[in-house]
Structure 1
Amino acid sequence: MNTLPINWLTEGLIDFEYKKYLLLAYLQAAKTEFGQQRLYPVFSDLIMHYRNLKQVKEHKQLVYEQFPQRISRADFEKLELVYQKIVEDDETMQQIEEIIQYATPLFTQTLEEGKELYEFVESNLEISPVGITPMYHDEGYLFLDAFPGKETQVYLYRITVFQNTYEKYRGINTQHVQTVRRGLALTHENLKVQLLKEHKELPNPATFVVVSKVPVPLEHSLLPIAKRSLVKYVAKLSA
């Protein structure tokens, strides 16, 4: 899809009409993705750009933590130097502020559309344990059933906890193991038993199944939202 560079505010020509053209093309592409029920990666990018706009508007500075992991500290520092020169130029800064005022409500509106789609998909997911759940929940198997069909995507998952001065965060990594077709002879419970026999390095893994009740793209919506739902589910179990 049509993407928006991380440093779109400061890159190239600092001109209101030019930036407006870039922005509208990007937001139209984002809306097209949402129309196809594809949330990621566009939803994450929208959030990043919106937070950046707010930071610039409120503090006239860029904050490294607001940028996605794909931008390195060195790249960010170069961007920050360019931006600092712009801040010191009153005429250019006025153009930037006009662009921010125009862009902020448009980002808000598009993000709301993404949020509605996210909540729709999330509300149509059912998550439950498979078999007996051990005390340790931060590593195990995730079974993912898309709608319609009888295929189950099997993933290994691992939840990691990291924190800064103010908050604790939970992240999740997944690794696709296999795709299986379920039936009367291969229920979720039987599938877990089969995995235990094949992968003895995990003798008693936590196993959860997430079932979608609506058809949505696997990689761009279902899997990312299922992973976040599992993190929240496990956090409640561990509380």
Structure 2
Amino acid sequence: MNTLPINWLTEGLLDFEYKKYLLLAYLQAVKSEFGQHRLYPVFSDLIMHYRNLVQLKEHKQLVYEQFPQRISRADFEKLELVYQKIVEDDETMQQIEEIIQFATPMFGETLEEGKELYDFVERHLEISPVGITPIYHDEGYLFLDTYAAKETQVYMYRITVFKNTYEQYRGIHTEHLQTIRRGLSLTHENLKVRLLKERKELPNPATFVVIAKVPVPLEQSLLPIAKRSLVKYVTKLSA
């Protein structure tokens, strides 16, 4: 798909019409992905660009208030820009300001479309434990059933906690183990028992099944959203 470089705003020709062309081509490609219910990796990329633009806008305004004739050197990949001796009526700044003012609502509108698709898929996921759930939930098996399919994708999952000075984050890593075709004699419960016999590294694993109630692509939407849903589900169990 048509991607957008991280420093698209400043690299190449600094011209409003040119940047507008780049942006619209990128957003059209993003919306095409959304139209096919494919959220990832395009949704994460879109969020990154939007956050960069918002922080750049805030940074520029802050500098205007404190140092209206100069913006210090910084690395754009850290959400800043390099400017030297720029005043408010400078032609370069006017071009950048015009691009930012045009791009920000365009990103925001497309981001809302992505959020609506994410929420739609998440609302149509059914998650439940398989068998008896042990006290320890941060490691185990995830069964993932796509819409109207008799196959179950089997994953081993591990939830990790990241902390900084202010917040705590939970991440999840999955490893695909196998694809199982289920039938009347192979329920989710039977599948869990079979795994216990085949794999000894987890003697008493937490096991959850996520069932998709709508058809969405596995890798680009279902699996990423199921993983995040599982993290939220397990977090509530641990509370």
Give the alignment's TM-score, normalised by structure 2.
Answer: 0.89
AA in 1 matched with 2:11: E
TM-score, normalised on structure 1? 0.89
Say which SS state the counterpart of residue 159 (structure 2) adopts: strand
SS in 1 for 2:81: helix
- Partner Cα separation in structure 1 for residue 149 and residue 57 of structure 2: 48
Give, in whole Å, the separation in 2 of the partners of 1:86 and 1:221: 43
CA contact (8 A) 2:75 2:81 kept: no
Partner of 2:100: 100
CA contact (8 A) 2:144 2:210 kept: yes
- Aligned sequence identity (%): 80
- Do the aligned partners of 1:10 and 1:82 also contact (CA within 8 Å) in 2? no
User: Which structure 2 residues correspond to residues 54-93 of structure 1 after superposition, within 5 A?
Assistant: 54-60=54-60, 77=75, 79=77, 83-85=81-83, 88=86, 90-93=90-93
Pair member with larger Rg: 2
1:161 — aligned with what? 161
Partner of 1:206: 206
Say if 1:82 and 1:133 are closer, same or farther in 2 by CA, change over 3 A.
closer
Gaps of 5+ in 2: 62-73
Cα distance change on mapping 1:81 and 1:47 into 2, 3 Å? closer
Cα deviation 1:134-172 (Å, max 9, x = unaligned): 111011100000011110000011111112222111111
Where does 1:154-193 land on structure 2 (aligned, <5 Å)? 154-193=154-193
Shift of 1:88: 4.5
Alignment-derived partner of residue 28 in structure 1: 28
What is the 5 A alignment of 1:111-130? 111-130=111-130
- 1:140/1:206 contact within 8 Å kept: yes
Q: How far apart, CA to CA, are the structure 2 residues paired with 1:51 and 1:191?
A: 43
Counterpart contact for 1:125–1:211, Cα < 8 Å: yes
Distance in structure 2 (CA, Å) of the matches to 1:54 and 1:77: 16
Partners of 2:85 and 2:120 lie apart in 1 by 41
After alignment, is 185-194 or 88-97 more displaced?
88-97
Structure 1: which 5+ residue stretches go unaligned? Answer: 62-75
Matched with 2:217 is 217
